[in-house]
Structure formats: C-alpha cells, structure tokens
Amino acid sequence: MDYLEIAGGVPLIGDIKISGAKNAALPLLAAGLMTSETLTLDNVPNLADTILMEDLLRHHGLDVARDGETVTLAGVADNFDAPYDLVRKMRASILVLGPLLARFGEARVSLPGGCAIGTRPVDLHIRAMQALGAVVELADGYIQARSSKGLKGARVVFPMVSVGATENAMMAAALADGTSELVNVAREPEIIDLANCLNAMGAQITGAGTDTIVIEGVASLGVARHAVVADRIEAGTFAIAAAMTEGDLRLQGALPKHLDALIMVLREAGADIEVGTDYINVRADKRMRSVDIVTDPFPGFPTDLQAQFMAMMCVADGSSRISETIFENRFMHVPELVRMGADIRVDGGLAVVRGRETLTPAPVMATDLRASVSLVLAALATIGTSKVSRIYHLDRGYSQLETKLGNCGAQIIRKSETD
C-alpha cells in the first residue's frame, strides 16, 4: 500500500495548473449514456474516481477511449444493470440512474458506497425519478426503476439541497416528455457545467446556478464536445497550502468566482490574494490569524474545504470555531491532526481549534478524500518528516498531487510499504 513521506517546513512557491473538476467530470461522463452520438469531454482529470466511472460506462456497453485528459464516449448502452462490485467503490455511480432510466426506460443500480463521511441517503434521487413517472423499488440492495411509457415532465421539489440528486433529475428530465421544474436545487458550478454540456448536446435547460431549473424535454440528444470546468476544490486546497506554508502560489486556470467564500476568509486570515479572470495568486509572509467558518451549500463555504481549512487553523494565531452543517461525520480527520499536536475540541457539528505555532511530525492515516489532503497540508507546514498512509483516498480526487507540489518546493515522495 502506498504512502506519502513529507518533509515539511518549506514555503510553497511557484505555479500550479488546476485540473478539471472531479465533481463535474463524473456526471458529465454519465451523460454519455444519453446519446447514440459521440460525446467528447476535454480536461477530464485522470483520477481513481473518473477511471471507475469510465469502467462502469464500459460495463453498460459504451466505447470509452481516453487520450490524456480527453475522453471520448460512443456507442449505445446494452446493459442497464450497475452491479455492486463496481458501484460500491464510488457513491457517484448512482449518477447513471437518471440517464439509463430516461434513455432506455429501465435501470438497476446497486446502492452506492464511497467515503464514510456521513449519511447521504439516496431517497432524494428516488423521489425525483418517481416524480417524473418512474416506478422505483428497493430490493436486494439495488434500486430497480422502470418507466415503460417514458418519463413525463413534472414539478420536482427537493426537501433539501443535494448536488447528486439535482444532477440525476436534470439528466432524467432532459429526455422526459414535457416540461419539468426542479425546485430547491443545488447551485454549484458543477451543476452549471452539466447544464452547459447537456445544452450543447441539444437539451433545453435554463436556470442552472439558481434554485430553480426549468427543462423542456427533448426526444434525443446528439453529438457534442465540452471541456470540464476547473476544479474549485483543488484550487482551494492549494490556496490554503500557500497561506499556511507562508508561500506564494499562482493557481493557473482557477476561477475566482467559484471561490468567493474561501477568498474572503483567507484575506481575513491575513493572506494577500490577487485574482484574475482565470487565476488566483495567494501569498503569505507571516502566520495566519484564526477565522471562524460555517460550511454551507454553494455559494457558502464548501464542506469539501473544511478539513483543509481546519489544518490551517491548527497553526494559526488564536482560536477558530468551525461549524460543519452538511455532513454529520466530517470531522474524522480530527484525531489524526491531534496526533500531530493540534489542539481541537469537537462538540457535535462544532470544532474549536486553538492554533499552535507549530505541529509535530507524526505518522497519520487518511480516512476519506478531503481528510487525506488536510493531513498532507498539515505535514507540509510542519518542520520534520511525516508519513501519510491510506492515500488511495487522495488518489480519488487529486491528480498528480506530488508532482504539482514538488514543482513548488515541497519535499514529498510517494513510497510503498514494500520499499
């Protein structure tokens, strides 16, 4: 099993090109099931999760070809069963439910697995499919859905905001008969990116980026080429890394409008940030100040940056209150940060972090994707050598992390337990 050996205490200085967003690429890949024409996606990050989705699409019968960061999807699905062996590895596999159901009238999708960061029920996905006219049953660990006469446009009101359920409903409604109105939907940039791609394929979607999306169903979708939007979470992670190592990083391709909440709190903490249309430059020449945050759906502070921000607060001046409102079990990185000497107290969804001038290098273990990178950041800001294990979590969401950080001065090496 691979691990990272990190000799920290070195400011990160240089340029980093931001990859395409994993959370945008996954639904875009699933959209390849919705057309018999070719869908070409550029800027697709080469990650464990995108590779898993490509394998799932091959299982469904699509021809999938990758050339660097370009993935070409062609052919017609001939298998509507998404089995446990594939789906258990990644929660986002449920995103094939809407496309299969809308295009072929049936789908059998295993209940998904993925990071254990809290309860993320599939009932919102199921309710959306039912509202569009599907008959859905849960049996033997599978979601079994059918719509023998096709899906029908409908008004779908989500009781709570869900990115995945919004994406599934968008894809299903795009091929439904009639008009659909999706209410209380997610507003994340990844939702807009999916709408842009589907519209390029011939869908009629308006309102993406607001809390209500209107979709005029069409009979079929066609050929298209689309570039995946830049990964705001990767960009935010490196922005935090620059601030907490007192470095200077220029994040090429990052979109500042997608990170307003983070940029605001980084400036409040003392970082010097310059933004352009497609870049963010983060500089810091002193220890950061403590700042309170509350995670919220976009445009609020992203839950996917909470662990990284907490790592920075562990070495900030003062005390910080971090409130997690999205996932009830997303403080699993806390015990590992404490192993490095962090002073953190957790009470339900609130963590109080008392910053220390420095942490202590230690062997730590990743528990989920964002927790893993928070430990990398903590190690980078700590003088001495730390070992971060279980980095298969890291490989799910960060492309060429060691190379990108290494080019900016980080002393970070991937090793194997057999070395």
Task: Give the residue numbers marked as catalytic.
Answer: 115
127 is an annotated ligand-binding site residue: no
Q: Taking the mean position of all CA atoms in its chain, how far away is CA 28?
A: 13
22 is an annotated ligand-binding site residue: yes
248 is an annotated ligand-binding site residue: no
122 is an annotated ligand-binding site residue: yes
**Burial state string for 294-304 with b = 16 or more CB within 10 A and e = fewer than 16:** ebebbeebbbb
Strand order across the beta sheet in which 39-42 lies: 63-67, 70-74, 39-42, 224-227
| 104 DSSP β-pair partners | none
Q: What is the H or E stretch that residue 64 is in? A: strand 63-67
Find out whether 163 and 188 touch, Cβ atoms under 8 Å.
yes
287 is an annotated ligand-binding site residue: no
- Measured distance CA(283)–CA(280) in Å, rounded: 10
Rg (CA), the chain: 21
The two structure tokens encoding residue 56: 């799932």
The two structure tokens encoding residue 351: 């963590």
- Measured distance CA(304)–CA(368) in Å, rounded: 11
SS3 at position 210: strand
User: DSSP alpha helices (H): ranges in 175-317?
Assistant: 189-200, 232-244, 260-269, 306-313
91 is an annotated ligand-binding site residue: yes
How many CB atoms are located within 10 Å of the residue 219 CB?
8
Find out whether 93 and 109 touch, Cβ atoms under 8 Å.
yes
304 is an annotated ligand-binding site residue: yes
123 is an annotated ligand-binding site residue: yes
117 is an annotated ligand-binding site residue: no
Q: Taking the mean position of all CA atoms in its chain, how far away is CA 245?
A: 24
407 is an annotated ligand-binding site residue: no
- DSSP letters, 135-189, are EEEEETTEEEEE-TT--B--EEE-SS--HHHHHHHHHHHHTSBSEEEEES----H
Which residues are annotated binding-site positions for UDP-N-acetyl-alpha-D-glucosamine?
91, 120-124, 304, 326
Which residues are annotated binding-site positions?
22-23, 91, 120-124, 304, 326
Which residues are annotated binding-site positions for phosphoenolpyruvate?
22-23
